């Protein structure tokens, strides 16, 4: 029996009552879309940051000030402006300001290694960088190898409440910034700089024009720039925004998922702000303190990875707390097991909330979420049904033939959320895009199945990948870095179970000379990884071996090594 007909989209029958079946997507840029309802709630808070609350009216002014400053700095239409920052006000402001002047935001993880930042700046030919101060040293160390002409430095304490700012500056090591360099400018001076500009600063772009670059391992694990349009982000905002409990001015969301990730940028920033919901910005996050944040801020919407929610329901600090203020819990970034979902749902029900853990599925190439579990019908282990105007299909990854109902194959998706393409990578684009009549499908590299009603079920990834604390870690990328060391004969990186991060990377290494100081070699390899890899990708453990297991055709049997690690953890539990 063939899969559900994408022409009739039977899954829309399982949308909750009152949810639109499809949308007409407006020709709006990100900033226009986000601010279109502001006249109805100008004094409602747009964001909260360490004791400081800023209204939507002021937020709009902040974006306009930054847009003028960008124009005075020399930013033109289609210029790529890099942002290296955690969830802080300046990063959100400049993100929308870049869009307002018709330029493209290039979002980079602050924990990226020096060589990664260098690669991303060279790849995008970015001339302007906005960086949090703690990342400035990395930027300065490679700036001469790039086209960067201006660097604006952002201080995390700048928009904190006065009392919190004093405490922060007393406890944090002050970053020395060499402002004597003519290409360096502080955020406040940058904004003042904008008052000199009296020309036009709003540059109208079409909804299908490029707006954002995010980075991912793509289908092969090699870092790639993913080019996304205005529509790519506005579409999932309309879709998921309609499928959750009514949200609007007066509501709040705990913005923990990072802005350099599609999940965080779309679901935790663009979607809530577009609904008039306050974003409580959390730049530095500790899993163990998540429940404290729930108690302190009482968010109406909680969005996070499964591990995050597991720490919430096991923390004594909210064990007796009334959680009736929680309207919705959205889970993504990793597999939500049926047992954990039941625990979360039971916990919320016994603490006064009707919210259940609603899982969604998506990928950066699809601008974040493109499925979501309905509120009332929640089949076991499903990742939900396709959102409005999104089509899902399961194919044989080799023959590309459509699979039958409940047969496993590769998940492919089509619709307004699908990226423009990988930046300057024609070869990879040809691999991931499939053309079918007037339809373009994106190969996800994930395996799964679809039932007769259109509910999707994820099973495994085609590509080697480790999900650690919600971040994608690519073994092949780590292996290529470790192999740079002249004493390494071969290596294999696998997933190792971890109590809080779920999984971490472990490297098995064979040296080409046994008569060496292994402690010294290990230190050198660690240093190499720190230089080239983001912090979350650096192996948690290194193990030297005389040889590595092989498959029948001579390839390294990485699955055998993963099984070894799982058995070790099981023995610990016993």
pLDDT in tens, 13-34: 999 999 999 999 999 999 999 9
User: What 3-state DSSP class applies to 87?
Assistant: coil
Q: Using 50, 70 and 90 to split pLDDT, how confident is the model at 194?
A: very high
Instruction: Please tell me the predicted confidence (pLDDT) of residue 249.
Output: 95
User: What 3-state DSSP class applies to 213?
Assistant: strand
DSSP state of 383: -
DSSP state of 550: B
Is there a contact between 510 and 547 (Cβ–Cβ < 8 Å)?
A: yes
Instruction: Please tell me the predicted confidence (pLDDT) of residue 219.
Output: 46
Average pLDDT over every residue of 148-159: 96
Instruction: Please tell me the predicted confidence (pLDDT) of residue 447.
Output: 87
Q: Which residues pair with 372 in a beta bridge?
A: 360, 385
Q: Percent of the chain having pLDDT more than 70?
A: 96
For the stretch 69-86, what's the b/e string if a residue is b when 16 or more beta carbons lie within 10 angstroms of its beta carbon? bbbbbebeeebbbbbbbb
Q: In sequence order, what E strands does 139-284 have? A: 150-154, 184-186, 210-216, 224-229, 252-255, 278-281
Average pLDDT over every residue of 144-151: 96
CA 380 to chain centre: 26
Instruction: Please tell me the predicted confidence (pLDDT) of residue 1.
Output: 62
Which domains are assigned to the chain? 10-18+231-461 (3.40.50.12780), 30-205 (3.40.50.980), 466-573 (3.30.300.30)
Flag whether pLDDT at 230 surpasses 80: yes
Range scoring the smallest mean pLDDT among 287-296, 378-387, 469-478: 469-478
Instruction: Please tell me the predicted confidence (pLDDT) of residue 336.
Output: 84
Average pLDDT over every residue of 422-445: 93
Flag whether pLDDT at 250 surpasses 50: yes
Average pLDDT, the chain: 91
Q: Using 50, 70 and 90 to split pLDDT, how confident is the model at 572?
A: low
Flag whether pLDDT at 3 surpasses 80: no
Higher-pLDDT residue of 172 and 508 is 508
Flag whether pLDDT at 567 surpasses 80: no
Average pLDDT over every residue of 305-317: 87
**Stated pTM of the model:** 0.85
User: Given strand 128-132, what is the order of strands in its sheet?
Assistant: 184-186, 150-154, 128-132, 80-84, 104-108, 210-216, 224-229, 421-422
Average pLDDT over every residue of 531-549: 90
CA end-to-end span of the chain: 45
Instruction: Please tell me the predicted confidence (pLDDT) of residue 573.
Output: 54
Average pLDDT over every residue of 485-491: 87
Average pLDDT over every residue of 373-389: 94
**Rounded to whole angstroms, what are the CA distances from 180 to 73, 177, 183, 185, 193?**
18, 9, 9, 9, 17
Identify the CA nearest to 281 among candidates 309, 248, 253, 302.
253
Range scoring the smallest mean pLDDT among 262-276, 340-354, 437-451, 456-470: 456-470
Higher-pLDDT residue of 388 and 574 is 388
User: Could you tell me whether strands 433-436 and 224-229 are parallel, antiparallel, or unpaired per DSSP bridges?
Assistant: unpaired
Q: What is the pLDDT of residues 164-177, one digit of tens each?
A: 998 888 888 888 89
Q: Percent of the chain having pLDDT more than 90?
A: 70
């Amino acid at each position: 029996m063939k899969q559900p007909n994408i022409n009739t989209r039977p899954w829309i029958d399982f949308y909750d009552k009152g949810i639109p079946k499809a949308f007409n997507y407006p020709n709006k840029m990100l900033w226009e879309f986000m601010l279109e309802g502001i006249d109805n709630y100008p004094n409602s808070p747009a964001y909260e940051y360490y004791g400081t609350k800023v209204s939507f009216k002021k937020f709009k002014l902040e974006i306009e000030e930054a847009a003028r400053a960008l124009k005075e700095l020399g930013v033109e239409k289609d210029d790529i402006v890099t942002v290296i920052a955690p969830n802080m006000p300046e990063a959100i402001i400049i993100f929308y300001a870049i869009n307002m002047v018709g330029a493209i935001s290039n979002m980079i993880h602050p924990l990226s290694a020096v060589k990664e930042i260098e690669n991303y700046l060279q790849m995008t030919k970015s001339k302007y960088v906005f960086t949090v101060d703690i990342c400035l040293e990395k930027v300065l160390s490679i700036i001469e190898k790039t086209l960067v002409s201006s660097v604006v430095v952002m201080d995390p304490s700048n928009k904190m409440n006065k009392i919190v700012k004093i405490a922060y500056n007393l406890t944090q090591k002050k970053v020395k910034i060499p402002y004597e360099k003519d290409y360096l400018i502080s955020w406040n001076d940058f904004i003042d700089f904008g008052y000199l500009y009296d020309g036009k600063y709003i540059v109208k772009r079409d909804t299908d024009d490029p707006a954002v670059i995010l980075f991912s391992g793509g289908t092969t694990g090699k870092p790639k720039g993913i080019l996304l349009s205005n529509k790519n982000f506005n579409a999932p905002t309309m879709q998921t925004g309609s499928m959750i409990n009514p949200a609007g001015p007066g509501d709040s969301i705990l913005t923990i998922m990072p802005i350099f990730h599609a999940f965080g940028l779309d679901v935790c920033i663009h979607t809530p702000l577009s609904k008039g919901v306050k974003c409580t910005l959390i730049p530095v996050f500790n899993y163990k303190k998540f429940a404290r944040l729930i108690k302190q801020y009482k968010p109406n919407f909680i969005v996070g990875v499964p591990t995050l929610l597991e720490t919430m329901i096991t923390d004594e600090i909210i064990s007796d707390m009334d959680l009736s203020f929680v309207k919705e819990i959205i889970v993504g970034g990793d597999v939500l097991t049926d047992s954990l979902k039941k625990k979360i749902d039971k916990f919320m029900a016994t603490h006064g909330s009707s919210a259940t853990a609603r899982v969604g599925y998506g990928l950066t190439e699809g601008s974040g979420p493109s499925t979501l579990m309905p509120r009332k019908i929640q089949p076991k282990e499903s990742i939900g049904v396709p959102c409005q105007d999104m089509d899902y299909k399961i194919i044989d990854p080799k023959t590309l033939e459509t699979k039958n109902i409940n047969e496993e194959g590769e998940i492919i998706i089509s619709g307004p959320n699908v990226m423009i393409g990988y930046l300057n990578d024609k070869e990879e684009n040809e691999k991931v895009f499939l053309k079918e009549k007037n339809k373009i499908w994106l190969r996800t590299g994930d395996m799964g199945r679809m039932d007769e009603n259109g509910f999707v079920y994820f099973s495994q990834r085609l590509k080697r990948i480790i999900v650690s604390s919600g971040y994608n870690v690519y073994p092949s990328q780590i292996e290529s870095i470790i192999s740079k060391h002249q004493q390494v004969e071969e290596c294999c990186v696998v997933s190792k179970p971890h109590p809080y991060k779920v999984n971490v990377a472990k490297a098995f290494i064979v040296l080409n000379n046994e008569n060496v100081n292994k402690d010294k070699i290990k230190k050198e390899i660690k240093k190499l990884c720190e230089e080239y890899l983001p912090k979350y990708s650096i192996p948690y453990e290194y193990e030297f071996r005389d040889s590595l297991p092989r498959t029948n055709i001579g390839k390294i049997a990485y699955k055998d090594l993963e099984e070894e690690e799982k058995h070790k953890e099981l023995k610990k539990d016993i």
